[in-house]
Every structure is written in structure tokens, then in C-alpha cells.
Chains A and B, each alone.
Chain A
């Protein structure tokens, strides 16, 4: 099956009183690994369910390949979905679980066996085919769910937080396996997560949603290096970008953003220079996190700024007075709209239209 483009066209989904998706337009190109990223309740899972046909959009339409699928049943959309809960059939063996989509489509037994064997081999499930899901570990169940998805050879994979129920070590392992799987099959993947590390490491592109509104679409490098607005700036990056009022550096009406790793203590001249006092030092071994309270006589409260220092630098002591200087990029956002002022003038860079950062 050749991979297909999946396109949402101004899809709005409204539940009784809440707006889950607000006029979302988004395309996953054929063979692309597109990550939908956002905090819980941002509408990313709803978007996936709309594509699968489990939810009907209030308005707008969905296109898979060159077909508009708004009136097509989930079973006929030819997409495969991996659920957060895995949704394995508990009464069926691993083999029957993997076969289920093939039996539903009346695929001949010989062909079915070949495909199940292939899928089981590629996910190292050959030894487990006769077990029930209850007899499997979390990681094994996850692999069965993936096998059930790939055995279909569908037009696209929809994955709804597939790794969030695994422990940290297994998650890293499965991440690599998923990337490998995508490379091998070349199928379009729409991957929902709230974990920015997953998004940054796996996605060809990342679509960031908040409260049902698309904030930015772009490569991991784009969304990190050129965040479209304050939300994206604060959401991508760990620890998150420092955001403080422009008044501190004599620029009114803007919010200033500096990433923790782009601050140095003392020294160099630059546009952003802040007098501060060290209030917390966390040493993680490979780096130090230093929280500083900035002296701000003009503001009602003193903003806290986080600085990330390499392990080679010896951290300041608690209560010490320091001067913070930005040694890397300084972002400026409109304090009203939150839009990145540097990008605002350019076409398609504004938040929410979905056409930026292709």
C-alpha cells in the first residue's frame, strides 16, 4: 500500500459546551511522521479520532489520500490506530489479535499467515503468538498492538500516546523501534503525544496545539529555534524558556524570552542584562540548574529566571548576587497577542493558520 497524505480541512469539533478543535487545517504528507503535540485537553486526540472516523467533526472535512472520507465508516477508511491502552482483545491469543484486521477483511488464510509471520518477526513476537494479552508485559502488549497495526499495511498509522503507559527505559527503547518501523514501512504516521522529547526525537514535523487551536507546524528545529508565539516558546524546551516582561530591559509592550542555556552569569555585554540573586541551585551531574530572582523595582513581583550551566562551570552559591547576560538568541513576543515579533512580518508565520514552517 502506498502511503497517503492525510488532511484535515478547517475541522471544528464542538462538544456540548467545549470547543475541542477550532477550524484545524493540517496536512500529513505521504510517508511523513507528523507529531501532534500539546498539553492534555488541547484537542490532539480528538483530531486523531476525527481522522479515524470515531468522531464526526462539527464542521470541516477529512481527506485520506485523494478521497474525502467524511461519510466513510471507520472500518472502510483503511487507517490503523494504536491506542494508549493498546486495546488488545483480551479473549484472543496474540496471533488472533494480530490476525483480527485481516480476518475482518476476509483475507485468504495463506496470505494471512504470511503477513502475521512477517509482522511477528519484525516485532520479535514469534515466541508469544499463542499467549493471551494478560500473560504479556507492558512492552510486549505494545508490540502486539503495533503488529496488529502494521499487518494491515494501511494508508496511515494513527498513534494515540502509544508509549505513555510504559516505564521510562522501555519508552526510550520503543521510541527507537517506532522510528525504525516508520523508516522500514514508509507509511504516513500521525502521532499524538504530550511529551516534547518524543515529539522532538521522532517527528519529521511537529504540530503544536493548545485549546483546540493550532499554534505552529514545523520541523523540530523550527519550533525550537523559531517559536511562532509565547505558547510554543514556553512549551518546547526543557527546562522551559524564561519569559519575562520587557520593562525589565527597557522595552515596553513585549515579552522577552531567553532559553536557560542561553544565559551566562556575569560578563559579556548584550541587549539583555539583569541583576539577580541566586535562590536555588540544582546540580544534576551533567549540568547545573540555577534559579535566580531578578531585581525588578518597577514590577509588583520579582520574576524567577532559570539558568542552565554546563557541569564544567562551578555554580554560584545560594544568595549570591549575579548579573545575567543573554549569550544566545533573545526572543521578543507581542505582550498582547503573544506573537513572535521577529516572524510577525513574514507571510504565514502568524499562529494558527497552519501554513507556516513547511
Chain B
């Protein structure tokens, strides 16, 4: 007869099976398969067999401009969106944090973009930025031409603006919650201790909300590198590849060019980049971040 302990252990393993199975089928298998596909070079014409080339495909793809240029665009995109998104969200949260008449209305308005989707945001801005009928063209008094989205210099910043706008609601709610968690008596103590408003914000509030800033930065960087919808709807990577970010490049390589080998190599690279960035952020920022449970 089995002991009670053995039965408990078996039951425990049994209960992890569904989650484990889902992980294996939807995460682990695709990951391994992607790495595996990266070892095979796909023939330039459909129907021909692909053949094993090992790591040589990794080294050729990763040093080629078809990978490096989109990587540069993605990095630029993240640099455009993450700091501004956090800063504007924090600014709005600070503004809405005060107890004023009708402040609830502003809180609702400020957080409303969380209810929009990438598609909705893209359509709104596509309409606004349309070079002939858009409101933006009317404001700057210059109709026709390529418009911002067709301009090599401004296309990526314009898409970044759409992303920042769409994520503002989330950022605002996150920052508002963080501000609400800062104990009022600490700020009062700082005020009596002679600290000006700026010093109170930078020396007391900011350190205390740093875990949230850190979280927002990590989530923002990952989301930034995974941007796809805005690009697909607004520019399809154009003009002339200036908004061709990494994920969009992977998509076109895989679905349009049907080059599964190259696409897989780039997908693996993107995965490793995100893992690495997250680790680096953890190790650098963790030393500067103050967590409340250290109180």
C-alpha cells in the first residue's frame, strides 16, 4: 500500500500537468522548433527542399543589413516611446493626483486610451495625418505631398506618437496607483523639513515609486520591440524601410517571402535580445530601485 505522502506528491504532479502541457505545446515546442528551423536554408523558389546549414545561417543573417537595419529602427522606436510614455503618464498622474473639484472627470479622460486598441488608435491617427484630408495637414497649412507617414525622417517618430498616445491610459493608471501608494505623512514631513515641491518630488516621491517606473520601463521596452500593429496599419514598414521594425521584418520574411529559415533566425535573435535587456535592466536598476517591503 502506498503511503499518504507518495499519494500527495503524485497528486501534486498530476495537477501541474495541464499547465505544463500548455507550456510545452505553446511555448517550449515553438521555441525549439524556431531554433531548429534556423538551421535550414530555404531554397529561393517554392517546392524545392530546404537543406541543413547549421549555424552558418545564424551568422550570415545576423550580420546582414536586412536584420541590422530593422534592429536599429526598433531600438530607435523604443527610445522614442518608452521614456516619453512614462514621463507624460507620470506628469498627468501628478496633475490629477490633487483633490480638486471635477478631478474625476480628468482621471477618466486621462485613462480613456486604455479602452482603445492598436487598430482604433492607428485609424484615428491615419485620418488625422492624411496628407490631403487630414486635420494635421490643415493645421500646418500644407496639403498634399507625402505627409508625415510618408516622410523618411518623420515616419518613425509619427508612429511612435501613436504608440505613446495609445499607451498613455495604461501609463497614467499605473503612475496614479504608484502616487497613491506614497504615504502622505512622508511628504508632510519633507515639507516641514524644509523641502521645496521639486525636492519633495525628486527626493521622496520618485524613489518611492521607483518600482513602478522600473516595471513600466521593462514592460515598455518589451512591448516596443514587439510593435507590429501600428506599423502594419500605418506604413507597412515604409517609406523605404524607415519604419521597418524587427517584428515587421520577421513577419514579411516569413509570410511574404516564405523564408522560414531567415525569419526563424531573426525571431530567435529578438527573443535573446529581450531576455538580455530584461536581465540587464534588472541588474542595473535593482540596485537603484527601492522596494516598499524593505521598509
Chain A contact residues, CB within 8 Å of chain B = 52-54, 73-77, 79-81, 83, 85, 87, 89-91, 100-101, 104-105, 132-134, 148, 152
Q: Are A75 and B204 in contact (CB under 8 A)?
A: no
Q: Are B191 and A75 in contact (CB under 8 A)?
A: yes
Q: Are B192 and A90 in contact (CB under 8 A)?
A: no
Report chain B residues within 8 Å CB of A134. Answer: 294-295
Q: Which bucket holds chain B's interface residue count?
A: 20 to 34
- Minimum C-beta distance from A185 to chain B (A): 17
Query: CB of B285 within 8 A of chain A?
Result: no
Report chain A residues within 8 Å CB of B192. Answer: 52-54, 74-75, 77, 79-81
Say whether, besides A74-B191, A87-B183, A90-B294, A104 and B199 are in contact (CB < 8 Å).
Answer: yes
Query: CB of B190 within 8 A of chain A?
Result: yes
Query: CB of B194 within 8 A of chain A?
Result: yes
Closest to A85 in B: B185
Report chain B residues within 8 Å CB of A52. Answer: 188, 192
Say whether, besides A89-B204, A91-B207, A91-B208, A75 and B295 are in contact (CB < 8 Å).
Answer: no
Q: Mind listing 23 A-B residue pairs with CB under 8 Å? A: A53-B191, A54-B192, A74-B188, A75-B194, A76-B194, A79-B192, A81-B188, A81-B189, A83-B185, A83-B189, A87-B188, A90-B292, A91-B207, A91-B290, A91-B294, A100-B190, A100-B195, A104-B194, A104-B195, A133-B295, A134-B294, A134-B295, A152-B193
Tell me which of A53, A90, A91, A101 contacts B193 (CB under 8 A).
A101
Interface set, chain B 151-206, CB cutoff 8 A to A: 183, 185-186, 188-196, 199, 203-204
Report chain B residues within 8 Å CB of A100. Answer: 190, 193, 195, 203
Closest to B290 in A: A91
Closest to B188 in A: A54
Report chain A residues within 8 Å CB of B193. Answer: 75, 80, 100-101, 104, 148, 152
Report chain A residues within 8 Å CB of B295. Answer: 90, 133-134
Give Cα A82 to B292, complex, Å: 22
Give Cα A73 to B196, complex, Å: 9
Report chain A residues within 8 Å CB of B183. Answer: 85, 87
Give Cα A83 to B188, complex, Å: 10
Report chain B residues within 8 Å CB of A87. Answer: 183, 185-186, 188-189
Report chain A residues within 8 Å CB of B185. Answer: 83, 85, 87
